[in-house]
Amino acid sequence: MTKRICIEQYINFDKSIDILVYRDRKLLDYYHDCPYRNIDEILKRIKEENEDAVFEHFCSGELCTSGWIRWEIN
């Protein structure tokens, strides 16, 4: 069975982010107040810890107005 991973990210005007990682709708991990520049490092870590997951993403929201963006990784 393929893992279903959903990543939600709150962006605060390129200053910091909160990232919530869910697997099968259960909270798997939480990164609080991380520097925006660390997104790639965090996503790489998530992918390494979930190698057998299929990675796709869906984005909604607007980066320029501080809000939630959701990525689903099936």
At 58 the pLDDT is 41
Total count of domains within the chain: 1
Return the pLDDT at 64.
Answer: 42
Supply the range of the domain harboring residue 11: 5-73
What confidence score (pLDDT) does residue 62 get? 47
Prediction pTM value = 0.61
Residues of the chain scoring pLDDT < 50? 56-62, 64
What local confidence, expressed as pLDDT, does residue 53 receive?
66
Cα(13)–Cα(33) distance, rounded to whole angstroms? 12
**Cα 65 to Cα 6, 9, 13, distances in angstroms:** 22, 13, 7
